[in-house]
Chain A
Amino acid sequence: MNSELRDLYQDVILSHYRQPKNWGDLPDSNANAEGFNPLCGDRISVFLRVKDGVLEDIRVNGCGCAISCASASMMTEAVKGKSVEEAEVVFEQFHRLVIEGEAQEDDDSELSALAGVHEHPVRIKCATLAWHTLRAALRNEKQVSTE
């Protein structure tokens, strides 16, 4: 694998892709949304259980490429247990990371592995699909498209 590919497909990304976390349905969810990337046809669903302003539980499912699946899986770990406001902040940080390639100085989370996506503009929508879907679910919008 050349260095460019190694930056894009880091081990942590491949590991989340192979064994995604918080994958499946959430029968007692009280918020959800469906995200669609018309560029590649990927669809992803996000289910949330929000109680007293806290994201108690989250599940995602849907099929997609390694970048979209890994990003979705990491996202669930990054926001689970956080307040809705905190989740919005994580969204903004992640957005800056992949759009501008700008990492938080103290960011030692797995999410920083997705910084390499910044170098592959056509893949940014893959990385952000789950996140836009999460935000739609938090804001009670049922559907989102990354067009």
Chain B
Amino acid sequence: MKIAAFPIQTVQDQFPILDRTVRGRRLAYLDNAATSQKPIRVLEKVDHFYRNYNANIHRGVHTLSQEATKEYDDARETVREFLNAGEARQCIFTKGCTEGINLVAQAYARPRLKAGDEILVSTMEHHSNIVPWQIVAEQTGATVRPIPITEDGEIDLDAYQAMLSERVKVVAIVHVSNSIGTINPVKSMVAMAHAVGAIAMVDGAQAGPHLPIDVQDVDADFYTLSCHKIYAPTGVGVLYGKTDLLQSMPPYHGGGDMIRTVSFSGTTYADIPSRFEAGTPNVAGVIGLGEALKFLMGLGRSRVFEYENKLARLAEVKLTELGGIRIVGNSKEKAGIVSFVMERAHPHDIGSVLDSYGVAIRAGHHCCMPLMERFNIPATARASFAVYNDEHDVDALVQGIRATKEIFG
């Protein structure tokens, strides 16, 4: 299978890390669902900030602060475009996807939930979209109920429909599974949640790098991104929320930059998004994020999706041909993530053998222990694709798996 029409060489040239070798071999980086590598333009953007206009943002009257503030605010506009949000102020910078979910759990859900209320999450959620809800459930007396999934790794929509009732106040679902790559039908799931009066939060940690996203079309009440998975520096996330919901929420953290006035007789809070951005934010990271999103949008996300998907499906075919390998998660709608188990080799052993071939994958439960339990496996090996991967990476993966089979029989 020849993959055409994607400027792979031009893309690869923008990632300096790809020049290095690992254990004497060409690096085949297939751990993108954990974090992506960074293009040179993002590295340069961050470097340029620190060299030329490093300053704290907002309220600084000097030139450097004004320049930094402008770049920071421009990045928010870029995020708006990336998500197709109505307004930039609906996009709050956090330190990651996890913080976004905790923010909604504590600032939206906690004041509203009471005993008897229900929060629905799917069985394929990352721990970060389970634990914050368990915490708020413990605080309020609400319960967290898991939506079952099918053997193929798809959400059981009939079961979901049956679980929906007026008791359900929050539905929290992942857009793309980090473990098994399933693309969930979030638009219809959000509509189903709304039909019983619940709000819906979508965890977009893995959708961000792989899919075009339109929060208005999905009609999500909240949507989160993990930006280091989208070619941006670590330590930045985005929480999108509907304006009226965000405005109705109390602050999550108190501090500087989130207030209007402070006095000991009472403090008034700033409007969104500042209300949720207490303290000095990750200015360099946010500015880098803006550049990263421009890079990804410049490539065209539908084209990226198609390209990564072809590679991932090619990997599935080639791995399956080797025999003794089972792909975990066979959803009809799937992104560039391939999770698998081998009959005789544990994922950790697979990971060690692949590393000696220069192939970086992830082995483990991928922070999805309930999902592993559902499939009755302790762990999987996971290869996840990004814009700079190519057929050589698939070949290196297959070669490493062949070696694993030779060792473990």
Interface residues of A (CB under 8 A from B): 1-2, 4-5, 8-9, 14, 17-18, 39-43, 63-67, 120, 123, 126
Contacts and interface: CB of A to CB of B under 8 A. Distances in A.
Interface stretch (B146-154, B213-221, B270-278, B363-371): B363-371
Contact of A5 (B345, B346, B353, B363): B353
Give the secondary structure class of A's interface: mixed
B23 interface: yes
A64 B356 CA distance: 20
Interface stretch (B78-86, B233-241, B401-409): B401-409
A65 B377 CA distance: 12
A8 B345 CA distance: 14
B352 interface: yes
A40 B23 contact: no
A6 to B, nearest CB: 9
A64 B369 contact: no
Given A14-B407, A66-B346, A66-B408, A120 B352 contact: yes
Contacts of A1: 403, 406-407
Q: Is the interface of B mostly helix, strand, loop or mixed?
A: helix
Contacts of A64: 346, 378
Interface in B376-409: 378-379, 403, 406-409
A67 B363 CA distance: 14
A2 B24 CA distance: 11
B377 to A, nearest CB: 9
Given A1-B403, A1-B406, A120-B352, A41 B372 contact: yes
Which residue, of B348, B378, B408, B409, has the highest number of chain A Cβ atoms within 10 A? B348
Give the most central of A14, A66, A120: most B CB within 10 Å.
Answer: A66
B346 A41 contact: no
B31 to A, nearest CB: 13
B353 A40 contact: no
Interface string B336-353: 000000000111110011
Nearest to A123: B352
A8 B352 contact: yes
B364 A5 contact: no
Nearest to A125: B348
A64 B379 CA distance: 10
Contacts of A18: 409
Contacts of B363: 40
A142 B152 CA distance: 37
A64 to B, nearest CB: 6
B356 A65 contact: no
18 contacts: A4-B23, A9-B407, A14-B407, A14-B408, A17-B408, A40-B346, A40-B348, A40-B364, A40-B365, A42-B378, A43-B378, A63-B346, A64-B346, A64-B378, A65-B348, A65-B349, A66-B408, A67-B349
Contact of A4 (B345, B346, B349, B356): B356
B364 A39 contact: yes
A41 B407 contact: no
Contact of A40 (B345, B379, B409): B379
Given A1-B403, A1-B406, A41 B349 contact: no
A4 B352 CA distance: 10
Nearest to B372: A41
Given A2-B356, A4-B23, A65 B407 contact: no
B307 to A, nearest CB: 31
A39 B362 CA distance: 11
A42 B369 CA distance: 11
A109 B349 CA distance: 23
A1 B404 CA distance: 9
Q: Which of B349, B353, B372, B406 has the most CB of A within 10 A?
A: B349
Contacts of B378: 40-43, 63-64
A43 B346 CA distance: 13
Contacts of B364: 39-41
A63 B344 CA distance: 12
Nearest to A3: B356
Nearest to B403: A1
A35 to B, nearest CB: 13
A5 B349 CA distance: 10
A40 B350 CA distance: 12
Given A4-B23, A9-B407, A40 B347 contact: yes
A59 B408 CA distance: 24
A17 B348 CA distance: 14
Top 8 nearest A-B pairs by Cβ distance? A65-B346, A65-B348, A41-B378, A41-B365, A66-B349, A65-B349, A41-B379, A5-B356
B18 to A, nearest CB: 22
A39 B407 CA distance: 23
A41 B346 CA distance: 11
A8 B404 CA distance: 13
Max chain A C-beta neighbours (<10 A), residue from B378, B408, B409: B378
A8 B378 CA distance: 22
Nearest to A42: B378
